[in-house]
Amino acid sequence: MARQALHAWRVTFSQPVSNAPVVVTAPFPPDLAARLERVGVDDMIAPSPA
């Protein structure tokens, strides 16, 4: 892999005005998901958001 393997699949924070929780999710990029599967940690791959 020609880059750092950094990814947050979920980030949660409070909306500054309403203080409501905001949850943002994103699947792993394809190259990182493939690498995780190759090394046997594919159970860490978060499902794609519905």
Residue 40 inside a domain? The answer is: yes
Residue 35 inside a domain? The answer is: yes
How many structural domains is the chain composed of? 1
Residue 3 inside a domain? The answer is: no
Residues 6 or more apart whose Cβ sits within 8 Å of residue 3: none
Residue 4 inside a domain? The answer is: no
pTM: 0.55
- Among 29, 34, 36, which Cα is nearest to 7's? 29
pLDDT at 46: 55
Residue 20 inside a domain? The answer is: yes
Residue 50 inside a domain? The answer is: no
Residue 49 inside a domain? The answer is: no
pLDDT digits (tens, 9 = 90+) for 1-50: 788 777 888 999 999 999 999 999 988 888 888 888 888 876 665 555 54
Q: Which domain holds residue 37?
A: 10-44
Q: What are the residue ranges of helices labelled H in 1-50?
A: 30-38
3-class DSSP state of 47 = coil
